[in-house]
Structure 1
């Protein structure tokens, strides 16, 4: 057991060090706080160094950025509870270090040296430990060799204690089996789906009183979202197309640049069957010519399928050499060879001939005009960019830009759901969402090479629309609600007949039977939830959702499918997660007890000083 624990501790120490170095590299600039503040607190006799706390915070911020691809501000980390989690972690580590010191657990110099030599960040170009690299990396992380090696000694000793706490925990088999049986349980059910077509009489149009009731009971449905009234000036290549005369020289240059698109050589659908030597290839070719076998039979005889020999539709140059010339010399589909290929002697079969295609410049000109004009327009906009920026910097308004330049003025009530006009551009939507009232207009780029500048004129909070403005929507919603209510009533009536002893097949409606359903196996989700909420076969539930009502009856409760290939993996995953959860809980309780018994003191001024470095 001691050997196993030692290995776990060693592995843990390596990962602690890797995290310290790899994530810590993102923490250049974490200064040594120095002065009289050297700790944010202590557990027993173990101080929690300000540098250690700062480094742990930096590592967490870097880890979050690596995971999400977005830099996380310190304020966001505080709001999300990450800062508190980091502080709890360094407090727990201090509690463990204090206990390690109390019981006399330590590691020798040989172990420390082994851990240092194993860290890739300290290795030189030859893959061997390099002392200068070691010194440089530590210096960049604000650490001395002595401090780092002391930290290794602490981390390794702490890992020994951690491993000892959780060692010997077995897999909670009963707990895992119970969870697995619950999660993988299957059910069979009979379902009746009722829609508006199943009502005996259509639902009438709602009265004014019903419309008012629907409106008053569901204000959120008729409330306009937050609206940002934005003025913008913009210019896109499309706006300039009609001002650009086509340049024949440019069009011909563009045609030559895309010549492969307009001039395509003859292509053929070809298969290639390769042989070990030319004699065997020739023997098969002779047999095919004599009618003694076929190309397909020869493919099968070599243990191949047609997919193994298919070359697709190719040009002569794709085959090359004499083989390519011979394949393209055929005037109709057929077999030729043997010819030497890059894989050896081969027979080639042509299955189809795709004629060469050539689009003359005159025929391609029209399609090239728009592309050339758009390209020129994009470059012209780029040339104007500096002038637009200078005008804004000199105090010009968006209205001035529209009046004095090619830019056009517009306004939009932006809610985030707009997708037409300028709001069709993601760059505009992003800028509109981030815009503040005191932001100075600046030139920004659109995805198609256009530009724009925006100003927030007013922000209108979510507002309940007047009933007259949404009357049609409210009336439709009221009618839909009444339809759903009536469908639910009919489903309840059918459920009552079942409870009275009638057979489901005699209810006069279509019944769908589903066997062996897993959790989530029915849609809408409310239907699956209702199915697995029932305890005994024969129970029924009525579910209304998505403009329909369902009557669902539980027919059978089935155990997990033993033939499901995913069953074993699911069982193992549940057991592993359960074991990890127990180990984490046990460690957390142990660490908290060490904090309680050792005594925790915190210096809020020191904590604030660390936090100030991140703001």
Structure 2
């Protein structure tokens, strides 16, 4: 399923609640009765939930999609076998099990979605809108689906939306209306704003002797123990088919007729210039006769205030610089915008009341001259044509690859250039450290991280599918050769390893020193006395801490230790640089007695409600699993991932 399309769908119909529910799964479904199964009663199932199957093909697609997403962000590519060993298969299966559980519960509750509603939901997704008309375009939808997931049809998309909406109905029905008691928010506020003072003894690397340089033999052993830090990156030699909009635009021509048509369309749809805006007022009369008299008086020159006083009217409803639809009665706004000029007009409202509608000001519509918009119109038309060219080229190239063409052959058929590149790292650098930045008019591979991700995601020797570049261009790659990561020569990494060795041994020495000093501090010696004994590399200071505010200079665990300690208690930890050591003593604890402001209470109340939602969803999840026990079909999963060979 499309990440960009369903990214929008999930935000609308699912929110964070489904994420919370899946979060319970990632803790481990075995806690709730989900087990791995090595039986093959259902060879086409990745899991069995009650009497329902989790489709094996759906699992395979989801697994490979998540692995692909991971590899696009990771510095080193993870194989299917490594992903399986890390537990990715179980996370994917758990997520699909949760989806199945929710759909089963929706069935039990009798929830359904009108097909037209699902279709309208799809039509309202902006990603499917035509760039020119701004409205839903079936061709644009097919283009987007093709670019993102070539196997997804509009019908399948509608079915998936149907499931998403049912999911939203089910989950929202469980947690709707939950409000945390105000006392929860007040207690949370007191906890977060408690103030503490503490005395700190800070020890840096000058507090311990500088470690002596190790022998080359010891340094080699240190490198062997920490091999990952001294490995040369993987390099790949590849062939790249690529075309960006900037490569297409110079050759695109736009006719005068197209410019005029684009201008007229944008004027008609309000995309150019500013619309007319009016200010108007609505005076309520007892009947038509009175409304006519009011209208006549105003048109004769009397002010609205004079008329209100003369007729004993209620204060008028005022709409300053308002659209036609801003009025409480639709007919008032319609009348105001249909009037030829400033003045008053009598109308009968939507509910039989009689009004005098008074237009007090008209700001005319501003329509820019076509000459001033000409450059923008040409650029828009060229960009749209470039997009269409790239879409057509994508179809030609992809069809060619599917039919067995090489990238070179498919590129020639579509008029798109293909080039071969030497060995390149994930950072877009050659083996001698040069970055493939390219030229201003021909940007290099190093400027597009999406291309680099695809290069290091692809398998060796295959002409891969077309994908969209970061600049809305198209590209396809073939990996021609791979030089795997290797251990860098000792002479090349010696200085780097020596610096790391010194940091490690300095950290160990500081840890031992802080261990010795905290024993002395807990025996009654002051931190000032300890600092005087240490001398250089030690410093005593006092700080004020509040839970809701980050305290600079302290490591996370030390901060936790200080907030967990009582007055007089002595704790230790690392500084925020990860090397220096700090010994701290809590001096005072001062509760906050200030009254809680309403906006803070509201915010903390929402957080408390979210916590309650989590508890309820946890119970809901357990109940569903109890009613529909789930089994993960490990044997089937290993087979479909090719791990059973």
Instruction: Name the TM-score, length of structure 2 as normaliser.
Output: 0.45
Instruction: Name the TM-score, length of structure 1 as normaliser.
Output: 0.46
* Structure of larger gyration radius: 1
